[in-house]
Every structure is written in C-alpha cells, then in structure tokens.
C-alpha cells in the first residue's frame, strides 16, 4: 500500500508512518510538497518515490516531460567483463608475473627433468647427470635439494604476487 499526503508541507507523514510501523504493516508514506523546496523538484521526487513503491505513473501527462525520451541505463557493470589490463609476463626471473603466472625455478626441459628426478628421489636418472659414482652422497644431498627446490617454487609464486616497480630513464627526443 501507498499513502500520499497531498498538502503544502507534510504534517501527517511521520504519525502515519509510526502507526503503520506499530501495526507491522508494510506501506510507503509519501508527501507531495515541502516548504523551502522547489515545488517542481519536490513533486517530481514524490512521483518517483510513488513509482518505485508500485504506483503506476503516467509520465507523458506531465507538461515538463512531454517531449522527453527514455534513456537506456548502462549495462556494462552487469555484463561481467573485465576492463582492467592483463599483466604482461615480466622477464625478471619470475618476479612481477602476476598471481596467474606459474612459478618456475630454472629454465627449459633439462631443468624440469632434473628437478622432477630430485623431487621423486630418482637416484638412477640423477646419478649420471651429477657424476657421482657412489649413491651415498646423493642419498644425503637429495632431500636437501628437494627442500631447496620447493622453497624456491614457493618464493617464486609469492614473488609473482608482488607488485614490482621499475624505473627506466625516459628517452627524450
């Protein structure tokens, strides 16, 4: 329900709102005009509040709005499109790559195979690469290398989240 007080200044609006609230009734209580306010502005604001409250308003009947056209509301906020630029991959050792960039330590497939063997503890494939004749030193070194590699990956991932600012001299023509 909507109650509209038609008067030069709202007098009953507060009392009616309190009565409706005390009875737990949902209703909009509106006024038409207010003292010390532009009549046109107050009346149009009241019409807008009535419209929002569910009252059908014949906007074309208003003389000030006779030639007015409807304007579409902007919809870009609801299209779920990103307007922020995507961060470019930096060539600075994994720093400043952004949260989506993969963390890497070392480069290429050779390093990938080496670190995969270290992580898996594969002494057979690792032995010839590091040229150890006896497997005993590898059994001692391998867990430390794996731990060092994991820490490097974690650090590279964290570094990718950080904002890196580079200062370069400006070439002035």
Predicted pLDDT of residue 1: 84
Predicted pLDDT of residue 130: 60
Distance of CA 12 to the CA centre of its chain: 45
Predicted pLDDT of residue 101: 46
Per-residue pLDDT tens over the stretch 78-120: 566 666 666 665 554 444 444 444 545 555 555 777 777 777 7
CA distance 70 to 123: 75
Q: Which helix (H) or strand (E) holds 123?
A: helix 123-130
Predicted pLDDT of residue 74: 60
Q: Is the sign of the CA dihedral 75, 78, 83, 84 positive or negative? A: positive
Please answer whether residues 21 and 46 qualify as being in contact, where contact means their C-beta atoms are separated by less than 8 angstroms.
no
Predicted pLDDT of residue 57: 86
- In this prediction, the residues of the chain whose per-residue pLDDT falls under 50 are 92-101, 103
Please answer whether residues 115 and 123 qualify as being in contact, where contact means their C-beta atoms are separated by less than 8 angstroms.
no
Predicted pLDDT of residue 30: 86
Predicted pLDDT of residue 140: 75
């Amino acid at each position: 329900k909507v109650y509209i007080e038609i008067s030069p200044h709202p007098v009953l609006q507060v009392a009616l709102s309190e009565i409706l609230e005390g009875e737990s009734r949902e209703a909009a209580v509106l006024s038409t005009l207010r003292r010390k306010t532009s009549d046109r502005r107050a009346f149009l604001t009241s019409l807008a509040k009535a419209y929002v409250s569910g009252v059908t308003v014949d906007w074309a009947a208003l003389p000030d709005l006779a030639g007015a056209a409807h304007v579409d509301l902007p919809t870009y906020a609801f299209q779920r499109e990103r307007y922020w630029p995507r961060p470019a991959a930096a060539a600075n050792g994994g720093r400043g790559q952004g949260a989506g960039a993969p963390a890497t330590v070392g480069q290429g497939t050779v390093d990938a195979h080496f670190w995969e063997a270290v992580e898996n503890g594969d002494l057979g494939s690792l032995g010839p690469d590091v040229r150890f004749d006896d497997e005993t030193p590898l059994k001692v070194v391998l867990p430390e290398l794996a731990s060092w590699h994991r820490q490097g990956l974690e650090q590279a991932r964290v570094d990718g989240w950080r904002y890196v600012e580079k200062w370069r001299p400006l070439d002035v023509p």
